[in-house]
Amino acid sequence: MQRVDADGNIDELICPELRLTFRTALDEKTGEQKPDELQLEHIQAWGRLVEIRSPHRDLRLFCNDVQYGLDQRQLDIRFTTPPASDKSRYVLVRQGRSQMKVAHLRIQHTEDQTLQRLECPGVGQLIAVEEQRKDRTGRIMTARWSDSLTVQQAPGTDEMFVTLAGQGKLEELTEKVYLAADRIGLTMKQDPKAKKTLNSPNSDPSGLFDGMTPKLMTASGNVVVRTAEGTGSIRDELTVRFLRPALSQQTIQTVSLIEQPAPVETDSDPGLDRHNVEGGYSFSSQTASAEVTLPERSEPGSNRKRQQTPPFSLWLEGNVNVSRKTDVPSENFDARGNQLHAVGKSTNERSMKLFGDPATVESADRHLEGARIDLHELQEYADVAGSGRIQFVTDRGLDGSKLSRPAPLNIYWSDRMQFRGRSATFVGQVRVVLKDGVTQDAELQCAGMTAHFADDVTFRASPSEKGEAVFSAEEKDKDNSPLERLDCHGTVTVRIEELAKGNPVSQHRAEFADLTLNMQTGNYSATGPGTLESVAPDRKNQLGGRPTVRVRPNSGTRTRESSFVHVRTDFVGTVSGNIHRREATLSQNVVAIMVPVGRLDEKVDLQETPAGDLPDRSGIMQAEQLTISASPDSTGKLNSFTLIGSRNARLESRNLSASADIITYDHAKQQFIIRAEGRNKVTVNHRSGPSGEFNRTSGNRFEYYRNRNQLKADQFSGLEFQD
């Protein structure tokens, strides 16, 4: 299918199947029907692979479902995954060297074909490569998100709003700028000198921001900023206003501070100019706000090195910590206060004013205190090449549980470790190992990891017989874990074995990608596809039931009682939760399998087993979203659990199968609550015993008690008996 625009450019839609829906045409003036004319109403293209080509834009798009409603002016592009498939496929958009991968792309436009809104629900990533031109150098930018990307054109203005929700990550590779936060918002403004390139819904999403310049950026929730000049961690919110070069110099020069007590001035350090030290600051605070000058781009082919740091003005508020670590001890310092104001006019011309009650600055040869301290310093990375190990002492396990006594926590790596301020980056076969021999044996493995520390940590090197770098951490507070947050990259595997008097009593295993774990709050998040697996004691033998008799050749008769619960959950989308509260929420194609087992190491695979042949008191729950949470028993201890499956929830067991909007399972009560929302209906197939026939029942809400094989209905609308 081809479309030719007014300039003669041809766009192509190539698909296995195409459906065009027509209706009786309407007169544009009177609104009356024209019986002899048809009007196109809806377009749908689908099949194994659907491709959209736009040669004049150098654009290619791949998916398997395209729908366009002319009345709604809405284009939906998806790559749907068949129910039987365990692999997620994504819409792929390519233009030149740029590409975008999303699960769903929705574009809305106005009557004059101007972009109104673009949405990408679900996980996605964008790699935008800006080609080098005569008036500017090329750049490379990447963006990732777990919940959604939204682009909204402000009506009647030249502004555009961009929002990344859920683990948003932005990285500008050319200038080495990185930003991560729970939510990132960006306001873009049309450059009056640039010609707008996007004026129709079929234009390339990766070229949305041609001719646009940033005006305002906000990032909230666990904000991390990295540039060539420094690293920052902001707990609540970061706000950045971007200024044009003509206005920024005047703005920075006229910054006025509230009147403060006489400052404690540090001595100027001529060594800074002599060594021309480059690097950056490492800081943390509650909130941060900044004004940054937009840099002018260098001419292609020029001999200029990386551009100087643009002028900026920065305010940090609330529990401010600033550190500098270099290989020159006399130039290092640690600063603490309530508020910090930093002004920079170039890479080597900057100043900081630290306010506190009192503010403190510590270095190798001095200790300063005062209501205000002026600083003129820089900082560099500390880099450890080759393999090594770092050891901490912690009182909490990797699952957040309190250890019976403080235990060593070791981090191993194979390639490199970089440490700066309160963060350390490990590269190559990273292993985090915690063994106390009494309570827990745990290990986390990943390709790379960044560890953030809750307090200042000093590393003391010690010799190693294996030739690796070995460090011991010295923390100010020995009774608490020094780790605040772990950011694990690539495939992540976690194994935890709980012990009682040194003997294993339960095993837990997880595998996913890009894990972020806050060791202080317990919050975590990761992306799929992944697996959570747990084998724990079946307290009070709730799944065991009556003992079953097993007979084996050439052996006596044995009676077996199930004593453990094996739960395995697979998912495709994301997982998030809290390790302290033992909570996890999984999304997209979630399958949970629960079965009683007799040993910790017993392997179970029920995915290919028919429902009628499932072991007694086992079950399979499927949903688009599943929440697993620990629940207290009669003593108040978290010895039980609950499952809540929502959105297309399904349950399969030996004597019961059901489909509903929401299915809840309480392990302590052995109770399933199966219910519908609104006017929807629940369908339940139940039999009274293994040899009985299934009866189909429909209604709004059912309760099923597995230990008694009892089904209760609040109200039902139909009942079918099998002949």
Parallel, antiparallel, or unpaired for β 264-265 and 367-375? parallel
- Cα distances (Å, whole numbers) of residue 96 to 54, 99, 107: 11, 8, 21
Region 568-583 average pLDDT: 90
Tell me if the domain spanning 241-297+307-380 has CATH number 2.60.450. Answer: yes
55: its two tokens: 């040669």
Q: What is the pLDDT of residue 529?
A: 92
Q: What pLDDT, in 10s, does the model give residues 460-496?
A: 444 454 544 454 555 444 445 667 889 999 999 999 8
Cβ neighbour number for residue 389 with a 10 Å cutoff: 19
pLDDT for position 310 = 63
Question: What's residue 279's pLDDT?
Answer: 47
* Band (640; pLDDT cuts 50, 70, 90): confident
Question: In whole numbers, what is the pLDDT of the chain averaged over residues?
Answer: 76
What's the average model confidence in pLDDT over 579-587? 89
d(CA 160, CA 207): 13
Q: Quote the Cα angle for 221-226-227, to 5°.
A: 145
Q: How far apart are CA 497 and CA 535, in angstroms?
A: 10
CA distance 644 to 632: 16
- Confidence at residue 165, expressed as pLDDT on a 0 to 100 scale: 92
Residues 6+ apart with CB under 8 A from 59: 52, 53, 93, 94, 95, 203, 204
In the structure, what pLDDT confidence band is assigned to residue 546 with cuts at 50, 70 and 90?
very low
pLDDT-derived band at 363, boundaries 50, 70, 90: low
Report the run of H or E that residue 416 belongs to, with start and end: strand 416-420
Residue 288 CB neighbours (<10 A): 26
* Count of beta carbons in the 10 Å neighbourhood of residue 46: 18
Please give the average per-residue pLDDT across 117-144, as a whole number. 78
Any idea what DSSP says for residue 205? G
Q: Name the pTM for this structure.
A: 0.46
Q: What is the mean pLDDT of residues 372-388?
A: 55
Better pLDDT: 8 or 394: 8
Q: Enumerate residues 6+ apart whose C-beta is below 8 A from 203.
A: 57, 59, 115, 197
pLDDT of residue 270: 31
d(CA 307, CA 304): 7
Tell me the backbone φ, ψ of residue 561, rounded to 5 degrees.
Answer: -115, 130
**What percentage of residues in the chain have a pLDDT greater than 70?**
71
Q: Is the peptide bond before 121 cis (omega within 30 degrees of 0)?
A: no
Cβ-contact 182, 166 below 8 angstroms? yes
Ranges for all domains in the chain classified under CATH 2.60.450.10: 521-546+558-723
Q: 487: which residues sit within 8 A by CB, 6+ positions away?
A: 224, 449, 450, 451, 452, 515, 516
- φ, ψ of residue 613 to 5 degrees: the values are -100, 5
Is 70 exceeded by the pLDDT of residue 143?
Answer: yes
pLDDT digit string, tens, across residues 233-248: 999 999 988 887 654 3
Amino acid, res. 456: D
pLDDT of residue 534: 87
Positive or negative, the Cα torsion across 535, 539, 543, 549? Answer: positive
Reported as a pLDDT band with limits 50, 70 and 90, residue 577 is very high
Model confidence at 302, pLDDT cuts 50, 70, 90, reads very low
Q: In which band, very low, low, confident or very high, does the pLDDT at 435 lie, cut at 50, 70 and 90?
A: confident
Q: Which is higher by pLDDT, 147 or 111?
A: 147
pLDDT at 379: 39
Per-residue pLDDT reduced to its tens digit, 30-75? 778 888 888 888 999 999 999 999 888 888 999 999 999 888 889 9
Q: Residue 467: which residues within 8 A CB-CB, separation 6 or more? A: none
Tell whether omega for the bond before 35 is within 30 degrees of 0, i.e. cis: no
pLDDT at 382: 46
Q: Which class is domain 521-546+558-723? A: mainly beta
Q: For residue 448, what pLDDT is reported?
A: 92
Listed range (27-36, 193-202, 444-453, 638-647) with the worst mean pLDDT: 193-202
Q: What's residue 586's pLDDT? A: 94
The answer on pLDDT for 502 being more than 70 is: yes
pLDDT at 469: 47
Tokens representing 356 are: 């506190």
Q: Which of 11-25, 396-410, 430-444, 699-713 has the lowest mean pLDDT?
A: 396-410
Contact status, residue 695 vs residue 720, Cβ threshold 8 Å:
yes
- Rounded to an integer, the average pLDDT of 275-288 is 67
Residue listed under structure tokens 């004597």? 655
Q: What does the pLDDT read at residue 476? A: 46
Radius of gyration of the chain (CA): 31
Q: What is the structure's pLDDT at 280?
A: 54
pLDDT band per the 50, 70, 90 thresholds, residue 17: very high
Quote the CA–CA distance of 590 and 624 in Å, as a whole number: 6
- What string of DSSP letters covers 62-125? EEEEEEEETTTTEEEEE----TT------EEEEETTEEEEESEEEEEE-TTS-EEEEEEESSEE
273, pLDDT greater than 80: no
Above pLDDT 90, what percent of the chain?
Answer: 21
CA distance 672 to 706: 8
Q: Phi and psi (nearest 5°) for 404?
A: -70, -25
Q: Which residues pair with 165 in a beta bridge?
A: 148, 183
* Distance of alpha carbon 450 from alpha carbon 465, whole angstroms: 27
Confidence of residue 196 (pLDDT cuts 50, 70, 90): very low
